[in-house]
Amino acid sequence: MTEIGALKSSYDVVVVGARCAGAATAMLLARAGASVLVVEQGSRGADTLSTLALMRAGVLQLARWGLLDAIRAAGTPRIDLTTFHYGDRAVEIPIKPRDGVDALYAPRRTLLDPLLADAARASGADIAYRVRLNELQHDGRGRVTGAALESGVAPGRFPRGSSSAPMAQIRRWRNELERRPTGSERT
């Protein structure tokens, strides 16, 4: 965890929320070369309401990001069969091996979220827990120029003078990400 006082004075991107969506986004942006700050008002590894089910595309992404082994190693059971109930009728659908995925998983969020956050950090992102983004600062044209953050300990405004990335830069990262196969088109 990065303490608020140890953050850089500016970042290309500030991601709000260090759960599965925010942490995965931060990891991909950091791997694409952006300097990334993730702020999460909650605590690392805190539980949240979810059915926990990962569909094939989610499992595939974890495998591609090199994180599925850690999910398995933590004892997450594999799901080889799903059953859909329509009234009294039950339809069983086996999980067919495809795209390198031979089972589905339903990891606890207390496992999945910090795993992705750790991967984002390992990719170069700074992650600050118990820090809330209170407001965005804009220039006269409406462009974001900074973010007002508040830590769980002491309120403060940070990063002063940080700026959103120019659109050309954002497009470069987007193109970089789009060049990579996602696998979602076949799931």
Ligand X SMILES: Cc1cc2nc3c(=O)[nH]c(=O)nc-3n(C[C@H](O)[C@H](O)[C@H](O)COP(=O)(O)OP(=O)(O)OC[C@H]3O[C@@H](n4cnc5c(N)ncnc54)[C@H](O)[C@@H]3O)c2cc1C
Chain positions contacting ligand X, by CB under 6 A: 16-17, 19-22, 39-42, 48-53, 132-133
Q: Which is nearer to ligand X, 34 or 61 (CB)?
A: 61
Q: For the CB of residue 17, give the shortest distance to ligand X in the complex, in Å.
A: 2
Q: Which is nearer to ligand X, 48 or 82 (CB)?
A: 48
List, as one string, the DSSP characters of 95-158: ---BTTB--EE---HHHHHHHHHHHHHHTT-EEEETEEEEEEEE-TTS-EEEEEEEESSSB---
Please give the residue whose beta carbon sits closest to ligand X in the complex. Answer: 17
CA distance 179 to 187: 18
Phi–psi pair at 161, nearest 5 degrees: 75, 10
Q: For the CB of residue 114, give the shortest distance to ligand X in the complex, in Å.
A: 12
Q: Which is nearer to ligand X, 124 or 152 (CB)?
A: 152
Q: Which is nearer to ligand X, 18 or 34 (CB)?
A: 18
Q: For the CB of residue 168, give the shortest distance to ligand X in the complex, in Å.
A: 27
Q: For the CB of residue 48, give the shortest distance to ligand X in the complex, in Å.
A: 5
How many secondary structure helices (H) and strands (E) does the chain include?
5, 9
Q: For the CB of residue 49, give the shortest distance to ligand X in the complex, in Å.
A: 5
- What are the start-end ranges of the E strands in 27-88? 36-40, 78-79, 81-86
Side-chain-side CA neighbours of residue 176 (13 Å): 13
CA distance 37 to 11: 6
Q: Which is nearer to ligand X, 65 or 172 (CB)?
A: 65
